[in-house]
Structure 1
């Protein structure tokens, strides 16, 4: 956008980074341990959640799912399947709003409602939060409270549909403490309009097999943070 280009030119950072100042967003954990976290946004969705869960469960690998409250209301059984397993649920708000284009009361309500819906459905209060589109701002921190705000350090393009390209992108970038962003859904759409989720599903075994072959342990975001809480990187 024009604003992002302007702030990048003048200040050396884009508008999203500027608005996130003070949020203490965790994008990677600095550690010498060979561990990383796979995360999935925008579920639960019939487009990919079950298939991705099947892949993860076949490898006995835990992951963290950032669920949209409205999607969890529509597909509560999928949300319950995630919460009943080794996986972790984080909040992704209620309606997948762009917080950088929302009023403060809208952001506050969306964060609160998203977390409450997940608590009502799964019986578990989300310990971490990821803003839709990664667009954090200071009132996101205040709305979520004491939990951690989670970004990522690896995220393939959302319009990449080739499983091989997706896997190659992730595998060439993983490092100790990485937080990988993938998607099991597509916003509030309950379809996979671009074929990206299908690509992620097909790429996932290649990503897991590569990480394991390199000696990595795959864990949830909260487990990653518990391993080295004093070494966390903030932006």
Structure 2
């Protein structure tokens, strides 16, 4: 487990870092060039623009949305996974859950259904990382589309794979990407795709024909298909599926005139809701109530003098999460405790109301990247985009841009620091709450290790961690501790 004994230097490091360009500008283009740089950016959650801007989907408008997240802070085994659970789309959620659980079990070496210990047992070591993130493609009317992007650095090649998942509310069933196409038009689709691919670098025409000849494997081969805002269809192929591995990923973009005659009834509804999305999503769920949002308002500026009293900074990573973050805010209000939340951008976009509640209650909202990648493994542009995109989401929710960021896994180097003006924050008390889902153990760790000016690492995505907070607040308050934000603690040092 990573420890951070040299905390004070990191606390005192202020924002004097240079900002580089915001994002990678590689383009797939209408002709469907391979665009491997753009695809790598997508795997990191750094594709140009936010999901709302690209797809017209605002996840905060999906009633009852639950983002299912998990992550570790193990320096030798880094993983962060997330997928959306939308009321009514239970079969689709179950399919994504099965995939994510299986990939994580394989990555950790626990086997199917095994209990994760956060330890890599496959020998992948410190260079390993698994990141699974999501993007809404369509969420309108009675159709829902989600892309899961998986980056597994322990795999051969680029380790990147993408799959789209679909739900048909009218039929009440999950569908594959291939089901966007009518059964009797799939041969025509293959012909159109092959025509686009032939002649590209890394493509062998005879091998291509053989690849598409296996009709039983067509659903797996064509598992990432995305309708575009102009009515076309974008099809993406993982590395080493239709061309030589060295050529990377391939993208085919088919125009509306070609695609429309090929669509199934479901595909036509998806196309219609993509081109002209409605304001509501109805998948037939009996109810999709939104969790109550705390309404506490801070009573002025925190005047705690940390030079005179014992202060401690509790920090919570990876949220916001519903309903866990809301419950945590209620606990904190009871003790007038202020903390720092290091939020993940895709969760901010899904639950901006919880981030507003955090800020309104006097807590500090920091940046924890868009989808929790190891920033040291990214390019400067990708790092900047991960952080800039998240900062923009936080500012949209609260009206104030963050000044602090916590690098996922505590992984930070000169390249990361030079890519942002945000100031990095690490920790010196690690509860390991991501590993031990035990409220009593988490509370005991904080209470035992707490010292003046400590920065404590916790996660508000875990119900067990949130449940540990009342005991922490009660016991440490009795010992004379005051709970302040990281910035407040820094100001006193």
TM-score, normalization: structure 2? 0.38
CA displacement at 1:210 relative to structure 2: 1.4
Corresponding residue SS for 1:181: strand
Matches within 5 A, 1:2-81: 25-26=10-11, 33-81=309-357
Matches within 5 A, 1:1-235: 25-26=10-11, 33-145=309-421, 147-157=422-432, 158-185=434-461, 197-228=462-493
Do the aligned partners of 1:69 and 1:95 also contact (CA within 8 Å) in 2?
yes
CA displacement at 1:31 relative to structure 2: 6.8
Aligned residues: 195
CA displacement at 1:113 relative to structure 2: 1.4
- Deviations 1:168-204 (CA, angstroms, capped at 9, x unpaired): 111111111100111012xxxxxxxxxxx11111110
CA displacement at 1:119 relative to structure 2: 1.1
CA distance in 2, matches of 1:104, 1:96: 16
Do the aligned partners of 1:31 and 1:176 also contact (CA within 8 Å) in 2?
no
Runs of 4 or more above 6 Å deviation: none
Do the aligned partners of 2:343 and 2:367 also contact (CA within 8 Å) in 1?
yes
CA displacement at 1:101 relative to structure 2: 2.6
CA distance in 1, matches of 2:474, 2:351: 30
CA displacement at 1:144 relative to structure 2: 2.5
Structure 2 unaligned regions, length at least 5: 13-305
Coordinate RMSD, CA, aligned: 2.3
Corresponding residue SS for 1:25: helix
* Gap change, CA 1:32 and 1:135, over 3 Å in 2: farther
TM-score, normalization: structure 1? 0.77
Do the aligned partners of 2:325 and 2:354 also contact (CA within 8 Å) in 1?
yes
CA displacement at 1:131 relative to structure 2: 0.8
CA displacement at 1:68 relative to structure 2: 1.0
Please tell me whether Structure 1 or Structure 2 has the larger radius of gyration of its CA atoms. 2
CA displacement at 1:121 relative to structure 2: 1.8
Do the aligned partners of 2:348 and 2:355 also contact (CA within 8 Å) in 1?
yes
CA displacement at 1:219 relative to structure 2: 0.5
Between Structure 1 and Structure 2, the one with more helix by share is 1
Corresponding residue SS for 2:424: strand
Structure 1 unaligned regions, length at least 5: 1-13, 18-23, 186-196, 229-235
Do the aligned partners of 2:376 and 2:415 also contact (CA within 8 Å) in 1?
no
